[in-house]
Amino acid sequence: MHFLILRLVFVCSQSSLESFSKIIGSQHGIVSGTRENSLYNAIWAAQALLRKGSAKTVDKRILLFTNDDDPFGSIKGAVKSDMTRMTLQRAKDAQDLGISIELLPLSHPDEVFNVSQFYADLIGLEGDDLVDFMPSAGKKLEDMKDQLRKRMFTKRIVKRLKFMIVNGISIELNSYALIRPTVPGAITWLDSVTNHPLKIERTFICVDTGALVEEPTKRFLPYKNQNIIFSMKQLSEIKRVSTGHLHLLGFKPLSCLRDYYNLKPSTFLYPSDEGTDSSMCMFIALHRSMIQLNRFAVAFSGSSSRPQLVALIAQEEVIQSGGQIEPPGMHMIYLPYSDDIRFVEERYSDTSGMVNIASDDQIKKAANLIKRIDLKDFSVCQISNPALQRHYAVLQALALEEDDIPEMKDESLPDEEGLARPGVVRALEEFKTSVYGDNYDEENEPGTEKPTEASKKRKANAEFATKECENYDWGDLADTGKLKDLTVVELKYYLTAHNLPVSGKKEAIISRILTHMAK
CATH number of 360-436: 1.10.1600.10
The per-residue pLDDT string of the chain (519 residues; one tens digit each, 9 = 90 and over) reads 222 333 333 333 445 445 545 555 444 555 555 667 778 888 888 888 877 665 555 678 888 888 888 887 777 778 888 888 888 888 888 888 888 888 888 777 777 788 888 888 888 887 777 777 887 877 777 777 666 655 555 567 788 888 888 887 888 888 888 877 777 777 888 888 888 888 888 888 888 888 887 776 778 888 888 888 888 788 877 777 667 788 899 999 999 998 888 888 889 999 887 767 778 888 999 999 999 999 999 999 877 667 889 999 999 988 877 677 888 999 999 999 888 887 766 666 666 666 677 888 889 999 999 988 887 777 777 777 888 888 888 888 888 888 888 777 787 888 888 888 888 888 888 888 888 877 766 655 555 555 666 667 777 778 888 888 888 888 888 888 788 888 888 888 888 888 887 777 787 788 888 877 776
Give me the half-sphere count of Cα atoms (radius 13 Å) on the Cβ side of residue 308.
Answer: 16
Q: Among 217, 218, 245, which Cα is nearest to 304's?
A: 245
> What pairs with residue 313 in β-bridges?
331
Strands in 178-265 per DSSP E: 204-205, 212-213, 218-222, 227-231, 246-253
> What pairs with residue 314 in β-bridges?
330
pLDDT at 351: 62
pLDDT at 468: 82
Q: Among 98, 107, 139, 101, which Cα is nearest to 123's?
A: 101
The values of phi and psi at residue 302, to 5°, are -85, 60
pLDDT at 332: 92
Torsion from C-alpha of 232, 234, 235, 238, nearest 10 degrees: 160
Strands in 67-198 per DSSP E: 99-105, 159-166, 169-177
Distance CA 273, CA 157 (A): 12
Yes or no: say if 123 and 76 are a contact pair by the CB < 8 Å rule.
Answer: no
493: left (phi over 0), alpha (psi -120 to 50) or beta: alpha
Distance CA 8, CA 31 (A): 19
Would you kindly state where each structural domain of the chain is located, as residue ranges? 9-152, 157-343, 360-436, 453-517
The values of phi and psi at residue 124, to 5°, are 75, 55
Task: Pick one of 2.40.290.10, 2.40.50.100, 3.40.50.150, 3.40.640.10 as the CATH number of 157-343.
Answer: 2.40.290.10
H/E run at residue 163:
strand 159-166
Distance CA 30, CA 84 (A): 12
- Whether pTM > 0.85 for this model: the answer is no
The values of phi and psi at residue 96, to 5°, are -65, -25
pLDDT at 8: 36
Distance CA 136, CA 129 (A): 10
Residues 6+ apart with CB under 8 A from 117: 69, 70
> What pairs with residue 213 in β-bridges?
204
Q: What is the CA radius of gyration of the chain?
A: 33
Torsion from C-alpha of 26, 27, 32, 33, nearest 10 degrees: -60
Distance CA 217, CA 396 (A): 44
Distance CA 265, CA 220 (A): 40
pLDDT at 239: 74
Yes or no: say if 385 and 393 are a contact pair by the CB < 8 Å rule.
Answer: no
3-class secondary-structure state, position 17: helix
pLDDT at 9: 35
pLDDT at 268: 92
Count of beta carbons in the 10 Å neighbourhood of residue 53: 13
Angle at 66 between CA 63 and CA 68, to 5 degrees: 145
